[in-house]
Chain A
Amino acid sequence: MATEIETNGNGEGELYGLLAEFDTPGELVEAARKVHDAGITEFDCYSPFPVHGIDPAMGIKRTILPLIIFGGGFSGAMGGLALQWYCNAHAWTWNISGKPTWSIPANIPVAYECAILIAALTSFLGMWIFNKLPQVWHPFFRRDRFAHVTDDAFFIGIEARDRRFDQDKTTKLLQDAGAINVENVYLDPDPAKKQMPKWITAFIVASTAFALVPFAIAAKARNSKSTEPHIHIFPDMDYQPKYKSDQMMDVFADERANRGEIQGTVARGWLTTDDLFYRGLETSEAGAKWTTAFPKTYPDGRPFVVDMDLLQRGRNRFEIYCTPCHGYDGRGNGMIPERVKLTGGLWQARNLIEAPDKDGKGGVAVQMPNGQLFNTISNGYNTMMGYAAQIPHADRWAIVAYVRALQRAQNAAQTDIPADQQGSLR
């Protein structure tokens, strides 16, 4: 049988099925029932509008779409809640109007809208997917009369692949059912026509490629270096007409917004009259000389005591500001001089604890009076920069005390150890 169909010589492709046209919806329903009763399954009715009573006639089962849509709606609601929980109650919990971070009532509207949105999308997409649409090509479209299906015509189409299909019998069946015209529908002989039209394919490929562009850019940018500052898209107060620390101000000759202090003026809290504390000087009618002691008091009158606290503070500061050059034990073996050595440089940091030899040579730091050490920290010495701006006065004194402690410790003799602790040595 089938072989005959294939070998028919009318230039058409193989037979796809039969297309029967009917006059009224009523007749369509009747015919559909007959075809169905005849046990044919691979058939369908076509009409410009949903014909009443066609479903039972064709024995169409109720679709499961509603269930899926419900699923969609439910997940939408849950998703909406989850989103809000994540945003406001988990990822960014903050105090808004003193309200609790997680309170359902405020979250209902959004969850509700999400539910509807997802449900609507499921019903829309679901319907097309179940209908296997879009499908812009179909063998029936090859019959001109079929164009009227969206206007006023009613059709029954039976596909040849139905196991009960028999061209003559089926044709007869349809004619008996009241078809005003039955015709054979053949597939397009041109195999290309069986595939999706080229331009659609092309379009899909193109758009997919285009969609990948951003990712491509991202991939390219990944791990790449750029000397340019990054791109400035939206103004967000990145540039304000004000001057922060150390900014340039080109209307002034020195091109600084920093106008500096006027000579001779005295700022609040900077009345540094106490020479001993602020400069390490002992002034007498004889003149000024570096103090060998420590200040008696702080400017606010509290007594200045050299105790463990002070030494701890001194050590803490020393290790922040001094160790890079002078090293932890003050031997001048800090990171920087070590590195200079490695690179074959000659410069080296002062060894703070080196004791002077018998005829008083060397040991500069040891020989310096406290005042001068203080002054060195404040204003620098040889290549050393002053640290006045970084280290408050009290801390400078603490460092002086600590340096003294270092020098004492590093140059200690057996006898310097308290008798009760002598034994702990080995």
Chain B
Amino acid sequence: MSKHEHEHQDTAPTPEHGYWKSLRELEGKASWQLHPHTREFEPGSDEPPPADPMSRRNFFHLMGASLGMAGIAAGAGCQRYEAEKIVPLARRPENQTPGQTLQYATTFELGGSAHALVATSFEGRPIHLDGNPEHPFAGGAIVPGTKRHGGASTFAQASILNLYDVDRSQTPLNRGKGATLDSFKAALAEIKKGLTGARILSEATSSPTVAALRKKLEAAGAQWLEYEPLSWDNERTGTRTAIGRTVRPLAKLDKAETIVCIDCDIFVEHPAAMRYNRDFARSRRKDGSLGVGKMNRLWAAESVFTNTGAMADHRLAMRAELGLPFALALDAALSNQPGPQSEWLREGKVQQFISVLAEELKANNGRAVVLAGRRQPPTVHALVAKINAAIGAHGTTLEYVEDPEPNRMTHLQAIQQLAADMRGGKVQTVVMLGGNPVYDAPADLDFGALLSKVPTSVHLSEYANETSQLATWHVPKAHFLEAWGDARTWDGTVTLAQPLVQPIYGGISSIEFLSLLLGDEKAGDELVRTTHEGKGNWKQLLHDGYIPNSAYAPAQVSVQGLSTAMPLTPSQQAGSKRKNGELEVVYHFSWASYDGRYSNNPWLWETPDFLTKVTWDNYALVAPETATALGVKNDDMITVKVGQRSITLPCYTMPGQARYSIGLVLGGGRTQSGHAGAVGSMRNGIVGPGWNTYKVRGSENDTWDIATGCSIAGGGGTYTLANVQEHWNYRPGSQKLMGYDPTETKFDPEVDRRAHEIVEEISNEDLQKNNAWKAESEHEFWDDEKEAEVTKQKARHLSLFEEHDYHGHRWGMAIDLSTCTGCNSCMIACQSENNVPTVGRNQVMRNREMHWIRIDRYFTGTVDEPHVVHQPLPCQQCENAPCEQVCPVGATSHSQEGLNDMAYNRCIGTRYCANNCPYRVRRFNFLDWNKEYREARMKVRRLLFNPDVTVRMRGVMEKCTYCVQRIQNAKIRAKAQLRNPNPTVAPRTGTIGGPLPDGEIETACQQACPTEAIVFGDLSDPNSRVSKAHADRRSYALLPELYTRPRTQYLTRVLNPNPKMPQLAREGH
């Protein structure tokens, strides 16, 4: 728009086009330097840019709408298609083919642990992130002999959204006011003087380059401190007490037959979660195979219901503080000593749990491992080390590796010490690399107040967040996709980060910043390169994305003389029944904003929590029984009192939450977040969604992770949490006639009944005993012999008409419920691949979320000890798709390859198809979800859209396409290579349109799935993984009695309960 022409004259960044100037300057230079070919356009870059087309597009939409109402084209005569200019390159880089993407290995660090990634780039713009399959720690093949595969966590994938986030900091701030990088550099001279005695507070980082620079800084007299609100230091400390050395335990779950998790989420929260997922999947089904066989057994004792608990064969809901008695008792049971004195341990359930477990551990000596979570105190970790030694885990299922910095003080000590020094006025200069201590430091330190007292404070951060506001200087930090860097995965493998794009908002990376601080202004690539000189061919290393054999050295350790005389608190000695005021509060990471850093990331906020299925808010988790006892209800605003501090936030009654343990989800209520809060969660200004639970998280007498003696009180009114699945306790209508359980100890009987039909489950034992068992025959309406006949001779007794037969490809998908941990990775992957919009809290409450693949969660059993099943649900791509026959304009029809295609441009939006879809996977654009992106300020965000996928307008239906764009691209590639007798890659067999090699095409969800639970391929190829999966006796179709013949089939969830334990309510049906 005309606004633009004048924009680059004024220096003061306006909120609307803040990035504008910086972009033009910086990008102008960059493209000049990096792409000589842009010279031919360089003069043009001074001329005013063309009028913004979007505003006109906006107008088109409105006009079209009003026309639609008029129903006539009259008056539209004046409006014509806009002439769009293209700017092709005269000399295109060798590796850039129009419309084709390139992949680059890069890395992303979260909480001091690297995630090895592969970024997909379209014309120099990253548009999608995936795990690096080649990476020795993060990648690999679960099923031997299949393609290497790397999953990626939701955080890793969604972090690409921050790259294009218009709320990212765009200029340095001096005392909260706009400044320039040059003025900062000028001020830096002063800061450098005070480097001696300066404190550098960094996020936890494993980057070797940072470490190198850090040494120089420390040499210069600066003190280096690291702080993470979600820290695994307890494990570190505990292990050290047990072993006497700082080493890091690293479980080898693929070798384990018994896995015990004490308040530990190995699937999402653990820094090695992605690897643990893979290894778990491998030993869950022997080598990830389909057949019946040896499988591991997962035991979980935890307070907050996590994915680990959901996957567990046996789960014990226990208050987190009871981890110690539990560990002691387990240790005692293993060494046949009398356990500690605790009422709780004498409770039948617990007793049985521990005794059977101990028995099994003994039996599985050398094939078992015990893991404790980050919340558990060092003592528990020490005990766990001892137990692992006892069960012969050392060297077999558990490995210890040397810690890179043995003498680092814990994150908590670090922040406490810094606070003390600040209070003592010892600190003149503090430099903060990333992080947001003002928001997430322990509440009792009152870090904000202290910081504002420090004369000079510099904060390098992607966002101008709470801390930046109080620091004297804020410097925008480059996104990890904009900067060179390196980091180490949890095992220590050095993983390199390549930039995919020039800093869009002109940020600088932390290593560049540090070298700036050191006075030698080195570029990022130089810094990283020098760090890794001589580690091999540099190009090769970048190409692969990691440095081989760079993992931490394994440590030979032994546990000796750990006294188990550990005093129990009265509360730990008591039973599971507590009174208000004796409650414990545990702090749980947020599925959406992690520790608060993703507060401005709509993808993550709208992806429902793994088990509560709540979006756009954080909350307090309360066990239903506890809630009833203390007189609070779901969606009540409750006041949680921890010591002297208290917070009021909504209550979510969560079945399976440990009784009298309140789970406070962190990462909400950011005050300097961004517009996502406003757009998504109806907050004012830049306040992020949710409630700031850090307010009550203090560090005095070890209440940082688990606080005891807490109380809750209702009466704060109610607040509806946006839940994508109706709350388990939503029981409308007549209690009696609908067969609800008035005491609310049981779930809705109908849901329970259907859950059994929808999610097949069987115990490994039954599966092996009964060779005739077939998942399909579980369904009374289904007879697979008949089915076979039908396909053979088109018998008519199932179908009323000649069935359509398919030639060539028959795409299909299989989802293994045995290994689906419900980690949501597939949802984010799909969102990123298919331009799936977010709709915000209000619309989610109206059931209008747009996810093409959702993960259904069903509770069965009792409310107190629920059994949970996950079921990823994309479009089932039925061969007899009920949606198609009802569309009046044939906007959805079947492709020759059996895909249920959706022609957006033909859709008139009757929504009849969605009504007739028994799986309810169709999604309708009720409003213009992409309206936002037509605003001029959101232009940069548009760069993220996948150009191969339509950005749907309002009024059209959409749904999962099996990533048809990927299928087509693969076919075109194959065709191109087939034409060539001397292809640069090995020639393919088969004819054009014939079978592509299995695994050539991966759907986004499949690619992201860390456990390879999702398999996609060609059913016409009998040897493809998906064909084998469909042929497996565990395989069944959803709602087969409707005879929709879905192309997506599910593999029965196989559980492996210990026969000595009470059988799950689910089994034997």
Q: Is the CB of B89 within 8 A of A258?
A: yes
Q: How far is the CA of A386 from the CA of B89 in the complex (A)?
A: 13
Bin the interface of chain A by size.
Answer: 35 or more
Decide yes or no whether A359 CB sits under 8 A from chain B: no
Taking a contact as CB atoms closer than 8 A, the residue among B45, B540, B894 that contacts A98 in the complex is B894
B611: Cβ under 8 A from any A Cβ: no
CB neighbors of A among B543-591 (8 A): 543
Known pairs A232-B81, A255-B49, A313-B981; A388 contacts B893 (CB<8 A): no
**Is A245 in contact with chain B by the CB < 8 A criterion?**
yes
Q: Do the beta carbons of A250 and B96 come within 8 Å of each other?
A: no
Chain A contacts for B968, CB-based, 8 A: none
Please state if A252 and B980 are interface contacts (CB–CB under 8 Å).
no
Known: A254-B27, A254-B28, A259-B502. A248 touches B80 (CB 8 A): no
A230 adjacent to chain B (CB < 8 Å): yes
Q: Which residues of A contact B99 (CB under 8 A)?
A: 244-245
B87 pairs with A256, CB closer than 8 A: yes
In this assembly, does A195 line the interface, its C-beta being within 8 Å of a C-beta of chain B?
A: no
Is B41 a contact partner of A231 (Cβ separation < 8 A)? no
* B 77-121 binary contact with A (CB < 8 Å = 1; else 0): 101111111111101111111110011110000000000001001
Assess whether A264 is interfacial by the CB under 8 Å rule.
yes
Q: Is the C-beta of A416 less than 8 angstroms from some C-beta in chain B?
A: no
**Stretch in contact with the other chain, from A2-10, A298-306, A337-345:** A298-306
Segment touching A, from B56-64, B708-716, B727-735: B56-64
Closest B residue, CB atoms, query A88:
B890
The CA of A253 and the CA of B502, in the complex, are separated in Å by 12
Q: Does B720 contact A (CB under 8 A)?
A: no
Q: A251-B939, A266-B543 are in contact. Are A238 and B104 (CB under 8 A)?
A: no
| B:928-945 near A, CB below 8 Å | 930, 933-934, 938-940, 942-943, 945
Interface segment, one of A77-85, A361-369, A393-401: A393-401
Residue among A94, A239, A254, A393 with max Cβ neighbours from chain B (10 Å): A254
Other-chain contact of A261, B95, B105, B525, B943 (Cβ < 8 Å)? B95
Q: By the criterion CB–CB under 8 Å, are B118 and A97 in contact?
A: no
CB <8 Å contact, A242 and B123: no
Task: Tell me which residues from 351 to 408 in chain A have a Cβ below 8 Å from any Cβ of chain B.
Answer: 378, 385-386, 388-389, 392-395, 398
- With a cutoff of 8 Å between Cβ atoms, the chain B residues found around residue A250 in the complex are 4, 49-50, 52
Q: Which residues of A contact B502 (CB under 8 A)?
A: 259, 262
The interface residues of chain A lying within 8 Å CB-to-CB of B73 are: 231, 233-234
Asked whether, in the complex, the Cβ of B984 is within 8 Å of the Cβ of A393, the reply is: yes
Residues of B within 8 A of A234 (CB): 64, 67-68, 73
Residues on B with beta carbons closer than 8 Å to the beta carbon of A271: 539-540, 543
Interface pair B985/A300, CB less than 8 Å apart? yes
B953 at the interface (CB under 8 A from A): yes
Q: Which of the residues B34, B42, B80, B804 comes within 8 Å of A263, measured between beta carbons?
A: B34
Q: Name the interface residues of A261-275: CB closer than 8 Å to any CB of B.
A: 261-271, 273
Which residue of the partner chain A has the closest CB to B56? A239
B102 near A268 with CB under 8 A, answer yes
Q: How far is the CA of A241 from the CA of B500 in the complex (A)?
A: 21
Q: Which residues on the A side are within 8 Å of B4 (C-beta)?
A: 250
Chain A residue nearest to B937 (CB atoms) is: A251
Asked if B146 is at the interface of the complex by the 8 Å CB criterion, the answer is no
Cross-chain contact of B801 among A103, A245, A262 (Cβ < 8 A): A103
CB pair A235 B28 closer than 8 Å: no
Interface contact B893-A247, CB-CB below 8 Å: no
A242 to B92, CA, bound (A): 21
Q: Is the CB of B539 within 8 A of A97?
A: no
Chain A, residue nearest B934 (CB): A241
Residues from chain A with Cβ under 8 Å of B219 in the complex: none
CA distance A261 to B950 in the complex (A): 25
Is B501 a contact partner of A259 (Cβ separation < 8 A)? Answer: yes
Q: Is A253 a contact of B28 with CB atoms below 8 Å?
A: yes
- Are B947 and A262 closer than 8 Å at their CB atoms? no
A242 touches B947 (CB 8 A): yes
A198 to chain B, nearest CB (A): 32
Q: Is the CB of B87 within 8 A of A97?
A: no
**Among B237-245, B424-432, B433-441, B877-885, which stretch is in contact with chain A?**
B877-885
* A20 shortest CB reach to chain B, Å: 55
- Tell me, yes or no, whether A249 is within 8 Å of chain B by CB: yes
User: What chain B residues lie within 8 Å of A248 (beta carbons)?
Assistant: 50, 84-87
Determine if A98 and B804 form an interchain contact, defined as CB atoms under 8 angstroms apart. Answer: yes
Chain A residues with CB under 8 A of B943: 243, 249, 257
Provide the residues of chain B in CB contact with A257, threshold 8 Å: 123, 125, 943
Which chain B residue lies CB-closest to A256? B87
CB-based contact B23/A251 at 8 Å:
yes
Is the Cβ of A253 less than 8 Å from the Cβ of B31? yes
CA of A309 to CA of B980 in the docked complex: distance in angstroms? 10
A273: contacting residue among B61, B84, B537, B893, CB under 8 A = B537
| Chain B contacts for A243, CB-based, 8 A | 123, 125, 942-943, 945, 947
Given contacts A233-B76, A241-B54, A268-B118, contact A254 B31 (CB under 8 A): yes
Within 8 A of B (CB), among A113-167: none
With most chain A CB atoms within 10 A of its CB, the pick from B63, B97, B804 is: B804
In angstroms, how far is the closest chain B Cβ from the Cβ of A267?
4
A98 touches B879 (CB 8 A): yes
For B118, list chain A residues within 8 Å (CB).
268
- Interface contact A394-B982, CB-CB below 8 Å: yes
B41 adjacent to A95 (CB under 8 Å): no
A5, B501: Cα distance in complex, Å: 106
User: Is residue B766 within 8 Å, beta carbon to beta carbon, of the partner chain?
Assistant: no
B-side contacts of A253, CB under 8 Å: 23-29, 31, 45
B38 part of interface (Cβ distance < 8 Å): yes
List, in ascending order, chain A residues with CB within 8 A of B52's CB. 250
A262 pairs with B76, CB closer than 8 A: no
Q: Is there contact, CB below 8 Å, between B984 and A299?
A: yes
A265 touches B946 (CB 8 A): no
Interfacial chain B residues near A230, Cβ < 8 Å: 80-81
Q: Is the CB of A247 within 8 A of B84?
A: yes
A98 touches B880 (CB 8 A): yes
List the A residue with the shortest CB-CB distance to B125: A259
Known interface pairs A254-B31, A271-B540; A95-B893 also in contact (CB < 8 Å): yes
B842: interface (CB < 8 Å):
no
- The answer to whether A247 touches B86 (Cβ under 8 A) is yes
A398–B982 CB distance below 8 A:
yes
User: For residue A190, which residues in chain B have a CB less than 8 angstroms away from its CB?
Assistant: none
Instruction: Say whether A285 faces chain B, with CB atoms less than 8 Å apart.
Output: no
Q: Which of B64, B498, B930 contacts A262 (CB 8 A)?
A: B498
Q: Say yes or no: is A418 at the interface (Cβ < 8 Å to chain B).
A: no
Q: Map CB proximity to A onto B893-929 as digits: 1 under 8 Å, 0 otherwise.
A: 1111000000011000000000000000000000000
- Determine which of A98, A236, A249, A267 lies in contact with B104 in the assembled complex, contact meaning CB atoms within 8 Å: A267
- Bound complex: CA A395 to CA B979 (Å): 12
Known contacts: A245-B98, A253-B31. The answer to whether A97 contacts B68 by CB under 8 A is: no
| 28 cross-chain CB contacts under 8 A | A95-B804, A95-B895, A97-B878, A98-B803, A99-B885, A103-B801, A230-B80, A233-B67, A237-B953, A239-B82, A241-B930, A241-B933, A241-B934, A241-B938, A246-B89, A249-B939, A253-B28, A253-B29, A254-B42, A258-B87, A258-B123, A260-B34, A261-B93, A261-B96, A261-B121, A262-B500, A266-B498, A398-B982
- 4 closest A-B pairs (Cβ-Cβ)? A253-B28, A250-B49, A259-B124, A242-B945
Known A243-B942, A258-B89; 13 more pairs at CB < 8 Å: A232-B79, A234-B68, A239-B53, A251-B19, A251-B24, A253-B26, A254-B27, A254-B35, A259-B501, A261-B102, A262-B501, A302-B986, A394-B984
- Residues of A in contact with B (beta carbons under 8 Å apart): 92, 94-100, 103, 228-271, 273, 298-300, 302, 309-310, 312-313, 378, 385-386, 388-389, 392-395, 398
> Could you list which residues of chain B lie within 8 angstroms of chain A, going by C-beta atoms?
4, 19-20, 23-29, 31, 34-35, 38, 41-42, 44-45, 49-50, 52-54, 57, 60-61, 63-65, 67-68, 73, 76-77, 79-89, 91-99, 102-105, 118, 121, 123-125, 498-502, 525, 537, 539-540, 542-543, 801-804, 835, 878-885, 890, 893-896, 904-905, 930, 933-934, 938-940, 942-943, 945-947, 950-953, 956, 980-986, 1045
